[in-house]
Structure 1
Amino acid sequence: MSFLNSLVLDNGVQYIKDHGNRLYICSSEPGDYAGTLTAALGAKNTPAISAPGARTPSGRKVTISAITDGAVSATGDASHWALVDTVNFRLLAAKALDAVLAVTLGDDTWTLPAFDIGIPGPA
């Protein structure tokens, strides 16, 4: 299951670009901001987010650039990512990772490839 906050649906992917200021890797899929913090195993502050663009086959998307320097905050297996707005305490989007990412407290960094967050066009 994937998640998009209603503000994202109402205001489009521009809201993600303007307000998504921290990306977490999590041990489970969070359902809200507090759940993100509880499941967090690491974070990347101010991830690079592209301007909105076309989504294939339809809709709009933003791209989160590859992360090469995420900070590890706990040992565990990350199964999801979660993008949050720390100013307004909102979970904006969350989704399962393509593969489980094992991290260990004391390791310097974690990495993720670039990925898209999109809203499909009308069917």
Structure 2
Amino acid sequence: MSYLNPLVLDNGVQYVKDHGNRLYICSAEPADYAGVAAVALGLKNTPALSAPADRSPSGRKVTVSAITDGAVSANGDASHWALVDTVNSRLLAAKALDAVLAVNNGDTFQLPAFDIGIPGPA
């Protein structure tokens, strides 16, 4: 049987919680921190992230709270989100949105809450 102590998993998602200080909506998935600038359509500074919690069916996760007041900075179709650590210039996580979001410069964007997780051992 495989096993990972919950502390191993928590430290991974805890890093996301402690350092993820800006969330972008993007027109494509960025490959790295520098790539975010080329695809960013808007941002939310200091998104709220939960403490590490159990992930179903196994592993650990943090939850990004719903965003209701993200600032749109360019026209386009947002297809991904990207969570970054601006202090250390790191892309921490990125994923496709559940649905493409058409946005216009100067508007606000909304996203439902979502999880970032690490699965438990197989």
TM over 0.5, shorter chain = yes
Give yes or no for the alignment of 1:51 onto 2:42.
no
Which residue is equivalent to 1:82? 82
Aligned residues: 114
Aligned-residue CA RMSD (Å): 1.2
What is the rounded CA distance, in whole Å, between the counterparts of 2:34 and 2:11 in structure 1? 23
What does residue 94 of structure 1 align with? 94
- Equivalents in 1 of 2:89, 2:15: separation in Å? 14
Same amino acid, percent of matched pairs: 83
Aligned partner of 1:117 in structure 2 is 116
What is the CA-CA distance between 1:106 and the residue it aligns to?
Answer: 2.5
Contact 2:30 2:36 in 1 (8 A): yes
Q: CA deviation at 1:102?
A: 0.5
The amino acid of 1:64's aligned partner reads V
| TM-score using structure 2 length | 0.91
SS at match of 2:62: strand
**Larger radius of gyration, structure 1 or 2?**
2
Is 1:106 aligned to 2:106, yes or no?
A: yes
SS in 2 for 1:57: coil
Structure 2 residue ranges without an equivalent (≥5)? 1-8
Partner of 2:37: 37
* Structure 1 segments (4+ residues) deviating >4 Å: none
Change (3 A) 1:91 1:10: farther
Distance in 1 (alpha carbons) for counterparts of 2:86 and 2:10: 19
Match of 1:13 in 2: 13
Corresponding residue number in structure 2 for 1:6: none
Classify the secondary structure of the residue corresponding to 1:13. Answer: helix
Q: Partner letter of residue 121 of structure 1? A: G
